[in-house]
Amino acid sequence: LSDLKAESKKTAVKQKKRVEIELDELGDWRRTHYSSNLTPELDGQGCVVFGWIASIRHQGNITFLVIMDKDGLIQVTAKKDEVGEELYEKIQRLTPHTSIGVKGVLKAIPKAPNGVEVRPKEIKVLGYASVTPPIQLYARKLPSLDKRLEIRAVDLRRPAAQAIFKIRQEALKAIRAHLLKNGYQEVHTPKIISSATEGGAALFPLLYYDKEAFLTQSPQLYKEQLVMAFEKVFEIGPAFRAEQSRTLEHLSEFISVDVEEAYVDYRDVMNRLEAIVREVVEVVKSRCAKELATLQYEPTLPDTFKRFTYDEVLEILAEHGCKVEWGEDLSSAALAKLAELNPSYYFIIDWPTQCKPFYISQKKDDPKLSESFDLIFGSLEIASGGTRVSSRRVLEKRLKEKGLNPKSFAYHLKVFDYGMPPHAGFGLGFERFLMTLTGQKNIREVTYFPRDQRHLTP
């Protein structure tokens, strides 16, 4: 019986699915205009446009299609007496999300997007949407993120998602431009590695021929090595962490913006990081005004990024009735309290050495403290950095203190015998930074295909 029920359910679903309509070939049709190229001055010109159908509205003997291409919206208006029986009939069978090509004539219409619409002469159905997704394009109330992630490619067609990923693109461009302009070399380091660099989050093991290897948590050791030859380097690439808890700000795979520089210390790279954040916020505000309006969000930028020492932070927290043991990381309650006082970007510097990884330099006058910093936005850590240990002897000692085996790092320690310069750097979580630029509370919203404990597909 249950088999029968399942079977009848299946047919019910099938029946709901629309009858496919025959697809046209792309053939020699090529786009003449993106939506962003359309202006009323083009009135009377011929065009070929492509996109997917964002909405269909019938009004008597007129059908209004709005199609969306990568840049925006195009209105297509089909009047029955103008387009003829056959084309009008074809248009009636179009469904939302179907990808089409439209060959026609442009007509200036003040009310249309970009002040111009297309009067179709021919339409090609190039990708037929046989089901309607459960995602309304402009709705405030959306299906759960999990549901949307199941058909993420379609979910990303929503204008709000388009806005987020346009900002992602502009932010990425601005970071890269800033670093290149300031003489940093873009590098690529291996993502398959032999040993851990960051404590805490676990590594993902994998089989590398007949050996055990891991996916990298951070390009830390390799970017340090590269300053020997290139002095100023950066990498924008994936980092993998087997995070054990499911939170709104942790992914198993994220994009890390890593910077490392020779002959400077942590204060210099903090200034660099602040300059990057400032420039990116300005760029996003000026180039993505439309997208920020769609998201109803305005990124903030304080006049100065305050720099609190860890000890000062503990005092401030104590004054507000929040006790943190010296040497502990800041709890989420402590960070929430700090966010009330500092809702935007600020640094916490000079962390206890015990809070930081083995490669972070201790302070000369007080080895309990380190030359380190975190950049925080409200309660969200977005970057960590510091002056690095550049002496082999000290690095070996620090490895042992952290319970790590210097033998596993022999390949790394070796190069320190060849004149490793003093250096400093940081790692910025790109998606976390994007959360601050787009006002998103869940890191998955700013990630194309998020990876976490529960999501390995799509």
Q: Which does 102 bind (CB under 5 to 8 A by kind): Mg ion, ligand ATP, none?
A: none
Q: Which does 376 bind (CB under 5 to 8 A by kind): ligand ATP, Mg ion, none?
A: none
**End-to-end Cα spacing for the chain:** 33
* Closest listed residue to residue 122, CA positions, set 66, 84, 70, 73: 84
Which residue in the set 114, 384, 387, 436 belongs to the binding site for Mg ion (CB under 5 A)?
384
Angle made by CA atoms 79, 84, 87, in degrees to the nearest 5: 90
Nearest distance from residue 219's CB to ligand ATP, in Å?
A: 11
Q: Which does 170 bind (CB under 5 to 8 A by kind): ligand ATP, Mg ion, none?
A: none
> Toward ligand ATP, which CB reaches closer, 124 or 432?
432
Q: Which does 382 bind (CB under 5 to 8 A by kind): Mg ion, ligand ATP, none?
A: ligand ATP
| Residues of this chain, 25-84, that bind Mg ion according to CB under 5 A | none
318 CB neighbour count, 10 Å cutoff? 11
> Toward ligand ATP, which CB reaches closer, 63 or 447?
447
Q: Which stretch binds Mg ion (CB under 5 A): 283-291, 330-338, 353-361, 376-384?
A: 376-384
Nearest distance from residue 384's CB to Mg ion, in Å?
A: 3
Looking at residue 291, the DSSP 8-state letter turns out to be H
> Toward ligand ATP, which CB reaches closer, 198 or 235?
198
**Pair type for strands 253-262 and 423-429:** antiparallel
**Pair type for strands 72-79 and 62-69:** antiparallel
Nearest distance from residue 350's CB to ligand ATP, in Å?
A: 16
Nearest distance from residue 257's CB to ligand ATP, in Å?
A: 9
User: How far apart are alpha carbons 447 and 434 in whole angstroms?
Assistant: 9
Q: Which does 241 bind (CB under 5 to 8 A by kind): ligand ATP, Mg ion, none?
A: ligand ATP
Backbone angles phi and psi of 306, in degrees to 5: -60, 150
Structure tokens at 106: 């442009």
Looking at residue 328, the DSSP 8-state letter turns out to be S
> Toward ligand ATP, which CB reaches closer, 35 or 256?
256
Nearest distance from residue 198's CB to Mg ion, in Å?
A: 8
# chain residues binding Mg ion, by CB under 5 A? 1
Q: Which does 258 bind (CB under 5 to 8 A by kind): ligand ATP, Mg ion, none?
A: none
> Toward Mg ion, which CB reaches closer, 384 or 436?
384
> Toward Mg ion, which CB reaches closer, 38 or 259?
259
Q: Which does 371 bind (CB under 5 to 8 A by kind): ligand ATP, Mg ion, none?
A: none
> Toward Mg ion, which CB reaches closer, 189 or 384?
384
Contact 345, 277 (CB under 8 A): yes
Nearest distance from residue 412's CB to Mg ion, in Å?
A: 20
Nearest distance from residue 380's CB to ligand ATP, in Å?
A: 8
Looking at residue 360, the DSSP 8-state letter turns out to be B
Nearest distance from residue 2's CB to ligand ATP, in Å?
A: 42
**Pair type for strands 205-208 and 211-215:** antiparallel
> How buried is residue 307: exposed, middle or buried, by Cβ count under 10 Å (0-12/13-18/19+)?
middle
In the complex, which residues of this chain contact ligand ATP (CB under 6 A)? Answer: 198, 200-201, 241, 243, 250-251, 254, 256, 381-384, 427, 429, 431-432
Helix, strand, or coil (residue 425) = strand
319 CB neighbour count, 10 Å cutoff? 8
Q: Which stretch binds Mg ion (CB under 5 A): 79-87, 336-344, 377-385, 442-450?
A: 377-385
User: How far apart are alpha carbons 334 and 71 in whole angstroms?
Assistant: 43
> Toward ligand ATP, which CB reaches closer, 117 or 258?
258
Chain position whose Cβ is nearest to ligand ATP: 429
Q: Which does 167 bind (CB under 5 to 8 A by kind): Mg ion, ligand ATP, none?
A: none
- For tokens 């979910």, what's the residue? 155
> Toward ligand ATP, which CB reaches closer, 14 or 441?
441
User: How far apart are alpha carbons 338 and 446 in whole angstroms?
Assistant: 24
DSSP-assigned states of every residue in 106-135: EEE-TTSGGGEEEEEEEEEEEE---S--S-
Buried residues in 110-129 as b, exposed as e (16+ CB within 10 A): eebebebbbbbeebbbbebb
The torsion region of residue 220 among left (phi > 0), alpha (psi -120 to 50) and beta comes to: alpha
Nearest distance from residue 447's CB to ligand ATP, in Å?
A: 9
* Closest listed residue to residue 358, CA positions, set 233, 218, 185: 218
How many residues are recorded in the chain?
458
> Toward ligand ATP, which CB reaches closer, 160 or 251?
251
Nearest distance from residue 274's CB to Mg ion, in Å?
A: 17
Nearest distance from residue 250's CB to ligand ATP, in Å?
A: 4
Binding residues vs Mg ion (CB under 5 A): 384
